[in-house]
Homo-oligomer: A and B are copies of this chain.
Amino acid sequence: MARYLEIAAELRAAIISGEYPIGSVLPSEGDLVARYGVARGTVRQAVAQLEQDGVVATRQGARRVVLGSAPTQSFHEMQSFSMWAVSQGHVPSARVLKCEPGKATEQEAAMLRVPPGEPLVRLERVRLLDGRPTMVERTLYAGVVAELLLAMDLTSGSITEQLTAQGHVYAHAEHSIDAMAAGVLDAELLGVRRGNPLLRLRRLTTSPTGVPLEWSDDRYRQDAVTITVRNSMSVNTLMRLSPALA
């Protein structure tokens, strides 16, 4: 592991342990240089990590202030229902409604940002948390990922996990979040009344090189999840859009 990541981890641990309580200040860069025996650049890389995660606040000329300990977030937990469920102490499962190869329609092609007619796989599942219907998932898989999918066990495990094991890495995702009313079909699948609120999360995921891998439309029962986002002046990935543009 890189030295700056080790230092960042040590500082995180010190914050969690209470050595640097919320509201207190971190040692100066000079102090940390002396303590860890590294160059200033390395210390700055370490604290930049903490700043990016919203753990500390930085102002030129003043010591860094501790905002809170790092959230237990992870890109992969956000990406995968299974991993998230497990991390929350729940047992995830799935009921497959549809899994079929096909060719991209005009609309699907636009969402996946591929040419119309491209081969893809359409997957629809009801996702369960401890046996209770929680989310309806409609996913389109593109390219290589699509082919691998047809050989997988879709009811139990995490597709993401199986894809990662085979070297297909998800690197970027763009999520659109809104509220909607349950239609007849969704209501029945989730065991709620028609018209009840659902939280909809649509997502385009791409590889490290920007190649679209999947597009997903996930609809959660109103009481099933809350999404949280942190942003700050320096790190900001959050937008509010009019539906017309979304």
Question: Assuming A78-B236, A226-B246, A242-B88, is B59 touching A231 (CB within 8 A)?
Answer: no
Point out the residue from B170, B180, B241 that lies within 8 Å of A227, measured CB to CB.
B241
Task: Report A213-230 CB contacts with B as 1/0, cut-off 8 Å.
Answer: 000000010111111111
A235 at the interface (CB under 8 A from B): yes
Residues of B within 8 A of A208 (CB): 57-59, 65
Query: Is A123 close to B, CB under 8 A?
Result: no
Number of copies: 2
Specify which of B53, B67, B224 is in contact with A206 (CB 8 Å cutoff): B67
| Shortest Cβ distance from A219 into B: residue | B179
- With A178-B225, A241-B227 as contacts: A236 and B67 at CB distance below 8 Å: no
CA–CA, A228 and B195, complex, Å: 24
> How far, in whole Å, are A3 and B196 apart by their CA atoms in the complex?
52
B226 touches A178 (CB 8 A): yes
- With a cutoff of 8 Å between Cβ atoms, the chain B residues found around residue A242 in the complex are 88, 224-226
By size class, the interface of chain A is 35 or more
Contacting residues, chain B, for A198 (C-beta < 8 A):
179, 197
Contact A233 B75 (CB under 8 A): yes
Contacts of A66 in B (CB 8 A): 210
Q: A57-B209, A179-B197, A179-B199 are in contact. Are A173 and B227 (CB under 8 A)?
A: no
- Asked if residues A52 and B235 are in contact (CB atoms below 8 Å), the reply is yes
Q: B residues within 8 A CB of A181?
A: 196-197, 222
The interface residues of chain B lying within 8 Å CB-to-CB of A246 are 226, 228
In the complex, 15 of the A-B residue pairs with CB atoms within 8 angstroms, ordered by the A residue number, are: A52-B52, A57-B208, A62-B209, A78-B238, A84-B240, A172-B233, A179-B180, A179-B198, A179-B220, A181-B222, A197-B222, A224-B242, A226-B241, A226-B246, A237-B237
Interface positions of A (Cβ within 8 A of B): 22-23, 41, 52-54, 57-59, 62, 65-68, 71, 73-75, 77-78, 84, 88, 169-181, 195-199, 206, 208-210, 220, 222-233, 235-243, 245-246
